[in-house]
């Protein structure tokens, strides 16, 4: 057999659609989340009848489909709205905010304005932007999704939206079950959400989801069964579909680098080693204020949180102590720092903050 029968020729690829391995890719069907999808749809459905919708909080570990499913439902809503006659359409607007990127009331209000078609946001205050959102949205109905809501520094925007929007469904997505308990009581009393807990995928569900993406992404027949089993096992072990998708992509690249027509165990092994060095959320992705605080902790690891706050203030930091504490908590939640609370002693109860190691893909 010629060497060229076993090696890829110029222009050939094992990939059919590499984009299908991105976690943001939206397949036509989201398997094994039927009950959660039904709950989201039922919360939005009253808007289609020009009534007020219901609010939701979606919780669960990263990488188990909260964001993907919500985007999928929003796409269904937009597609179905386009097929209705104008006189039957309830004109439901949809807004999706990534709170990791937009983490203040002003940034969120500005983004919502742009998404609903109001672009004259320059030199306007937060309350002015929120007022414009209310005026525009109250002519229709609106679904507002705030992904990674636990990354937000303040919740003033939520109070305004809950108080002044007539017909809305507000969906908050967080990885932390306990997050809602710390929200301001004036918001909680108006929000009254239904809690939707996303449980980790079973081994069978993990296989089905990755097999679906494999069919979208790769030329048929290029995966050896044993190699694919390794990917499924790893994704199930860490309870994160993103891990599986990343390993599949890297294994395909490794196979192409070797000019192989098949993706085998050695290519998955290469991908897994690379995954150990790959950080989904490294410190470069932190917004500026949080990065500043992380740098202070890094330079003064092991100090009391109060001492770190004084260093932050001395460096020109503008946050108050409570907001500073929230930033530290978020850094700890994402394993950038570790905190240790100690009781007793001359200073009473205090928290010590230490710099932590960068997260790895398999930590998620």
**Chain centroid, CA 301 distance in Å:** 29
The domain of 256 spans 3-17+202-276
Residue 269: predicted pLDDT: 95
Residue 4: predicted pLDDT: 33
Is residue 8 pLDDT above 70, yes or no?
A: no
Residues 234 and 258 in one domain: yes
Residues 192 and 244 in one domain: no
Residues 93 and 219 in one domain: no
Residues 102 and 181 in one domain: yes
Which of 102 and 322 is assigned the larger pLDDT? 102
Residue 358: predicted pLDDT: 42
Residues 48 and 179 in one domain: yes
Indicate whether 45 belongs to any domain: yes
Per-residue b/e over 48-60, b at no fewer than 16 CB within 10 Å? beeeebbbbbbbb
Indicate whether 308 belongs to any domain: yes
The tokens describing 274, both together, are 């690379």
Residues 52 and 177 in one domain: yes
Indicate whether 207 belongs to any domain: yes
Domain boundary among 238, 254, 276: 276
Indicate whether 24 belongs to any domain: no
Residues 288 and 344 in one domain: yes
Residue 86: predicted pLDDT: 57
The per-residue pLDDT for range 330-341, each reduced to its tens digit, is 888 777 888 888
User: Domain total for the chain?
Assistant: 3
Residues 272 and 297 in one domain: no
Domain boundary among 169, 197, 225: 197
Domain boundary among 197, 231, 248: 197
The per-residue pLDDT for range 145-155, each reduced to its tens digit, is 999 998 888 89
Lowest mean pLDDT among 119-128, 190-199, 337-346: 337-346
Angle at Cα 6 formed by Cα 4 and Cα 9, nearest 5°?
50
Which of 176 and 96 is assigned the larger pLDDT? 96
The full DSSP string for 124-191 is: --HHHHHHHHHHHHTTSEEEEEEETGGG-S--HHHHHHHHH-SSEEEEEEES-TTGGGGS-HHHHHHH
The residue with tokens 């050939």 is: 12
Residues 301 and 359 in one domain: yes
Residue 360: predicted pLDDT: 38
Residues 8 and 41 in one domain: no
Query: CATH number for the domain including 291?
Result: 1.10.10.10
Nearest Cα to Cα of residue 76 among 113, 137, 35, 29: 29
Residues 192 and 77 in one domain: yes
The per-residue pLDDT for range 34-62, each reduced to its tens digit, is 999 999 999 999 999 999 999 999 999 88
Residues 6+ apart with CB under 8 A from 2: none
Is residue 5 pLDDT above 80, yes or no?
A: no
In whole angstroms, give the CA distance from residue 271 to residue 81. Answer: 42
Indicate whether 272 belongs to any domain: yes
Query: CATH number for the domain including 246?
Result: 1.10.8.60
> In the predicted model, what is the mean pLDDT of the chain?
87
Indicate whether 22 belongs to any domain: no
The mean pLDDT of 260-265, rounded to a whole number, is 95
The per-residue pLDDT for range 182-218, each reduced to its tens digit, is 888 889 999 999 999 999 999 999 999 999 999 999 9
Residue 217: predicted pLDDT: 96
Position 114 confidence tier, pLDDT thresholds 50, 70, 90: very high
Position 2 confidence tier, pLDDT thresholds 50, 70, 90: very low
The tokens describing 142, both together, are 């609106």
Residues 91 and 213 in one domain: no
The mean pLDDT of 13-19, rounded to a whole number, is 94
Query: CATH number for the domain including 98?
Result: 3.40.50.300
Position 345 confidence tier, pLDDT thresholds 50, 70, 90: low
In the β-sheet with 350-355, what is the strand arrangement from edge to edge? 303-304, 350-355, 337-342
Lowest mean pLDDT among 70-84, 244-258, 312-326: 70-84
Residue 115: predicted pLDDT: 96
């Amino acid at each position: 057999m010629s060497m060229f029968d076993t090696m890829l020729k110029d222009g050939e690829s094992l990939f059919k659609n590499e984009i299908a391995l991105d976690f943001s890719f939206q397949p036509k069907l989201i398997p094994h989340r039927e009950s959660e999808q039904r709950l989201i749809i039922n919360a939005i459905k009253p808007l289609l009848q020009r009534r007020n919708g219901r609010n939701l909080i979606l919780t669960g570990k990263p990488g188990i489909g909260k964001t993907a499913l919500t985007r999928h439902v929003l796409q269904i809503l937009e597609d179905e709205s386009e097929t209705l006659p104008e006189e039957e359409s309830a004109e439901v607007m949809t807004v999706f905010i990534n709170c990791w990127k937009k983490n203040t009331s002003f940034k969120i209000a500005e983004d919502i304005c742009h998404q609903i078609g109001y672009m004259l946001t320059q030199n306007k205050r937060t309350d002015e932007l929120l007022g414009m959102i209310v005026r525009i949205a109250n002519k229709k109905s609106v679904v507002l999704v705030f992904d990674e809501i636990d990354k937000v520094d303040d919740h003033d925007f939520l109070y305004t939206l809950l108080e002044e929007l007539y017909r809305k469904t507000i969906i908050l997505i967080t990885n932390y079950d306990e997050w809602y308990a710390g929200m301001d009581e004036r918001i909680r009393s108006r929000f009254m959400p239904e809690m939707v807990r996303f449980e980790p995928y079973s081994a069978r569900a993990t296989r089905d989801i990755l097999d679906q993406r494999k069919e979208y992404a790769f030329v048929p027949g290029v995966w050896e069964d044993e190699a694919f089993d390794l990917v499924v096992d790893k994704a199930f072990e860490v309870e994160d579909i993103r891990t599986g998708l990343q390993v599949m992509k890297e294994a395909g690249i490794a196979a192409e680098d070797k000019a192989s027509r098949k993706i085998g165990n050695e290519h998955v092994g290469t991908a897994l080693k690379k995954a150990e060095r790959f950080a989904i959320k490294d410190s470069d992705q932190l917004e500026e204020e949080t990065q500043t605080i992380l740098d202070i902790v890094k330079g003064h690891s092991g100090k009391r949180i109060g001492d770190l706050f004084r260093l932050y203030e001395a460096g020109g930091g503008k946050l108050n102590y409570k907001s500073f504490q929230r930033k530290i908590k978020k850094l700890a939640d994402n394993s950038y720092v570790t905190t240790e609370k100690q009781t007793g002693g001359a200073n009473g109860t205090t928290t010590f903050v230490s710099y932590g190691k960068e997260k790895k893909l398999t930590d998620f």
